[in-house]
Amino acid sequence: MATVGQFVDIKWKLGVAMSSDTCRSLKYPYVTVTLKVADPSGQITDRSFEMTIPQFKNFFRQFKEMAAVLETV
C-alpha cells in the first residue's frame, strides 16, 4: 500500500527507553518522528515512525545529499 503526498511538516521526539519487560537495563536512545503529509486531495494525515540514532544520522545525511543535488540541478 502506498501513499503519495506533499511534505507539510515534521514533529519529533528524542527518547531513551530505560527498561522493558525483557531487559532491566535497556538504555536505548531513539528518535520518534511524525510527518504531516498532504495527499493529492489536500487532506492532511500523520505518519509516525521510530529510528535508532545511527538510522537517524543516515536519514539526516540523505536529506543533506538531496539538498545538495537540488541546488546543482
Partner 1 sequence: MKLTGNGTTPISEGSLPPPEGSKPLSGLLGGIAQAAYYGNADITEELLRGQLYPEAAPEEFRALRAKMGGLLQSIASADMDLNQLDAFLTAQTKKQGGITSDQAAVIAKFWKNHRMKIHESLINQSRWDNLLKNMNWRVDLKSQSRHIDQINTPVAIVEMELGKNGQESEFLCLEFDEAKLSQMLKKLSEIEDSMTLLTQTT
> Please, what is the end-to-end C-alpha distance for the chain in angstroms?
31
8 Å CB contact between 60 and 53? no
Least distance between partner 1 and beta carbon 41 (Å): 15
Lay out the site mask for partner 1 across 47-66 (x = CB under 8 A, - = otherwise): xxxxx-x-xxx-xx-xxx-x
Q: Which of 41, 42, 43, 73: binder of partner 1 (CB under 8 A)?
A: 73
Kindly list the distances between the CA atom of residue 39 and the CA atoms of 4, 9, 25, 35, 44, in Å, as whole numbers in the listed order: 6, 13, 42, 12, 6
Contact footprint for partner 1 (CB under 8 A): 1-7, 9-10, 12, 14, 16-17, 20, 22-32, 35, 37, 47-51, 53, 55-57, 59-60, 62-64, 66-67, 69-71, 73
